[in-house]
Structures are given as structure tokens and as C-alpha cells.
Structure 1
């Protein structure tokens, strides 16, 4: 069995840790705690961390090509300035359901943001995947689901993976040159008892890493959809990983305490922390948002 050297690197005990992203120009990993409305930054070289309060539930933070940051709040896309903690509204999906919030996001090689919404009550099929490009938000055309996750973009820039968490299914579609999606096809469905697919990311070999909510770890699937690796982590609710470090060969995983009772938390005291492990493969650099 491969030793992935799993360890806690930041003991934040997040209620709903999510959205890790490695920002290369800072050599730091950023992530959020959605329910606590916190944005976190961790510098692994110094071991130091910072935290900001958001004005609403915050699903993700991504770097932009002008040196700034774009955050996805329940109320839409905002520019976030860590210098003073301010948020400036940019855009929101038109006609999105009132009970929805933004949940997960990724950029493609053109700097477009692909992000999903979800029903905050986790009951209705109101979650959709959107595309942000040139200051405009448009519907991707993917079928609505209750909880969207991913999206994840392959290094080729033309393959998008989208997760229907409650449906336990990951879908795949092709992105054309204009940013439109082709028909979605089923990539993989998680079997009963293995947890629910949460956030995902593609490595440098084109394989998809899927975090498992209720599954105690992450899985690695090859481009054909075959399961080729599993990493077990010391928390049941793993939400997403990001590849970081100078060589992009360290995986950072967010986790959550949400939904765990006192007995479960006693069994997994590290739940909600930021973990790191050796994935045995490099990741792909994150393309900043084109603004």
C-alpha cells in the first residue's frame, strides 16, 4: 500500500470547508468555510494562516489575472480585496432560484469561470452550472440537479467534469472554442456505501480526483472512468483537493464537520481540518480568471 503521508496542516475545524485552490504567485492555498462565512489562506512555507469574514455564505475564491481575487458568494460573484476585507459585486446568475447559493468553481485554460449553484436546503433540483466570461454569466445548458459540484477542467482545456452529488454521478462534456458545452455523458457513478462525490480536480496525467462526502477520502479515476487509486483521510466528509507546492505535487484536502453528531466528532477529532498528502502525481496550474 502506498504511504501518502496524510497529515493535518491547519486545524481549523471548519463546519463546511470547501474550494481549496493553490495560487502559485503567492505559493499559498486558499479555501473557504461556507457555513461559517470564512475565507482562509495558508502559507505552508511559514506555517502561517489568515482568515477573513465574508458577508454571506462563500463557496470559493479564485485568482484573477490582474493580481486580484474573485469570490463566489450566495449573492453572486464579487471581487474580494484581502487588504481591507472588502467585497465588490460583479455579477450573478439571472433567474437563479432564491433558495440557491454558489457551491463550487474552476477556471478553464481561457480564464472562464465554471461554477455551480445548489439548493441550500438540499431538497430541490434548482442547482445549475454557469459560465462567466467577459463579465457575463450564462447558463451552461447542463441539466439542473440539487447539489452541483466540481466543475473540474482537464489540462487539455476542452474536457469539463460536472458532479451531481445526490445522484452520485459525475458527467463529462466537451468545451468548444466559444465556451459552449457539448452533450454530457456519464463518466462514473459512485456505488452505494462509498459516500457521495463532492469536489473534483484533474491531475497532470488527465486523471480525475474525486473527494467523497461520507467516504473517508478521495478517489482517482483514469480518463476511461476506471478507479485506479484511493487515499483514506482521517475525516468522513472530504470535500475537495487542490494540487500545490512549488512542483504541484502536494495535495491539500478540505473537510467538514457539518452533519456529524458528538459521537462521530469524538471518533474523528480532525474533521473540518485542512489536510495534506503526497498524491504521487503532479497537478495542473490554475489559470487565473480573465478579467
Structure 2
């Protein structure tokens, strides 16, 4: 049974995103500030580092440190020195794009998406990165890619078309190639837009709703089985953390809210948490 949703850090993020549990702490970003955060709930301690550009996500790296996805491409990030080191940019030909949301698979490959920062053109693509560089996944481009998430058995990838209000299920082959996508679920008009996705240990998919006041949990067949309501409209993604990965942490955003909206939603942009009633999955470090 899901516990009560509570605000655990008064971030006030413009566009909080990319939560991931690593090193006994929750890492996440504020894309528009732009900033990387590390929250240690055991000590109730929050650290942050300013990024050199809009940062969509941060993931653990197998040989130490982290990998961050910025508008200018992938970078290593050293939290001790605060130093960012550029690796590569898959979209030098698309200066209006930025990176947006990512995950890793059991082989340490990073699956990451891009988007049109103006949220107009269908220039966003899903990529796969490994020690040899990055490869276009071959999925059709959309305006905003989101929520790449991978099933516990590693054989299914979920990919979100945010403005298309749809989440797609794709067979993921061992060599990293993808089969043709099939529709997993749709969000009806007026119920928000699907944002980041996360998979729990039972293979269920948690979809955050931007403008939808909550998070939905779908079973592996795509049936809606639970809705968690929030006191803020823009929920962007959840991640499982804590000693048994049973606490769901959620990033939220103030982006797009009017002054009146913010008066009605004083907690908008904060970091939230709730007991998910189910365990999450550990995050595989990136081998890059």
C-alpha cells in the first residue's frame, strides 16, 4: 500500500528531473537552473553543483564518478572538484536540441533522449551510448523524448513521446538493437503529459505526469493499477531509494506555472517522497 506523499526538500526547482539512487543518496537535476543535486536522506543533507549548461540527467559511472547529459552532449562529472569533462555530442548538427532523460541497462549502456528545447520540432531522438560512442536507436523522432526505462529481464525498453501523450514498448535485443515499437499506454487530454518513467521489481511502470498532479503505475500489460496524487501539478519522474529501495522519490517543476498557480502550489518544484509499497531496481553504472 502506498504511503502519504510528503515534501522532503524545499528545492523550488524550475524543472526538477532525472532522480537516481546512487552512493546511498538521491542524485537529481534542475535542468533550467542549471544544477546537479545530491540528497543524503540519512543525514538530511543536500549538496549542489552548478552545471555549465542545461543538464538533463546524471548517472553513476562504473569506473568512478558520474556521467551527465547536457545540452552540449555527454560529460563526466567529478563531484569532488565540480569539474565537467566533455566526452561527445551526438547532435552537433541540431543546436536547438538538448538532452532529456536517460537510463542504463545491465550491460552498462546508456539509453538517452534528446528534444527540441523550443518544444516545437520533431527533432528529438533516442540514442544508445557504449564505450564505442553513441548510436541512433532508429526509433521515429518526436518533439520531446522522455522516460527511457528497461524491464527487469532487460528485454523490453519503454520510450515516451511526451507531447504525443504516449508510452511505447519496444523489444530490446542483446546487441542493443530495437524491434518495432507497440503502444503501451496513452494519457488522455486534460490528464497531463507523460514525463519520466521508472520500473519497479515487479516489472510495473511508474509514469510521472507533467500537469497531471501525480504518478501512475501500470502493470507490464499496460493496465493502470494505481494512481498516486500529489499536491503539485508538475511531477517529472520518480526513483526508488533508501536501504531497501522502497522509498519513491519524485522530482517536480515550477516551469509553466503562473503566479496564481504558484500561490496555490507553494510546494511546486520541491523533492517529494512516499512509501511505494514495492521495491525498486538497482541502477546499473554506465560503462563509458
Segments of 4+ in structure 1 off by > 3 A?
Answer: none
Note the C-alpha offset of 1:13: 0.2
Query: Which SS does the other structure have where 1:263 is aligned?
Result: helix
Partner of 2:18: 19
* Contact 1:91 1:135 survives alignment (8 Å): no
* Contact 2:2 2:274 survives alignment (8 Å): no
Partner of 1:53: 50
Q: What's the TM-score, normalizing by structure 1?
A: 0.97
Partner of 1:223: 220
* Count of paired positions: 288
Partner of 1:192: 189
* Contact 1:4 1:231 survives alignment (8 Å): no
Flag structure 2 segments of 5+ consecutive residues without an equivalent. Answer: none
Flag structure 1 segments of 5+ consecutive residues without an equivalent. Answer: none
Note the C-alpha offset of 1:135: 3.7
Give the Cα separation in 1 of the matches to 2:6 and 2:91.
Answer: 42
Partner of 2:154: 157
Q: What is the CA deviation profile of residues 47-96 of structure 1, one whole-angstrom value per residue up to 9, with x for unaligned ones?
A: 00001000000000000111210000000000000111110011121455
Give the Cα separation in 2 of the matches to 1:133 and 1:179.
Answer: 10
Give the Cα separation in 2 of the matches to 1:103 and 1:229.
Answer: 26
Give the Cα separation in 2 of the matches to 1:3 and 1:221.
Answer: 14
Give the Cα separation in 2 of the matches to 1:32 and 1:192.
Answer: 28
Note the C-alpha offset of 1:177: 1.1
Give the Cα separation in 1 of the matches to 2:69 and 2:142.
Answer: 19
Q: What's the TM-score, normalizing by structure 2?
A: 0.98
Note the C-alpha offset of 1:190: 0.7
In structure 2, do the counterparts of structure 1 residues 283 and 265 end up closer, same or farther at CA, with 3 Å as the change threshold?
same
Q: What is the CA deviation profile of residues 232-290 of structure 1, one whole-angstrom value per residue up to 9, with x for unaligned ones?
A: 11110000000000100000000000000110001110000000001111000000001
Partner of 1:74: 71
Partner of 1:246: 243
Partner of 2:82: 85
Let me know the Cα RMSD of the aligned residues: 0.9
Partner of 2:143: 146
1:214 maps onto 2:205 in alignment:
no
- Choose which of 232, 237, 243 in structure 1 pairs with 2:234: 237
Give the Cα separation in 2 of the matches to 1:185 and 1:122.
Answer: 24
1:40 maps onto 2:69 in alignment:
no
- Choose which of 7, 26, 29 in structure 1 pairs with 2:26: 29
Give the Cα separation in 1 of the matches to 2:91 and 2:116.
Answer: 16
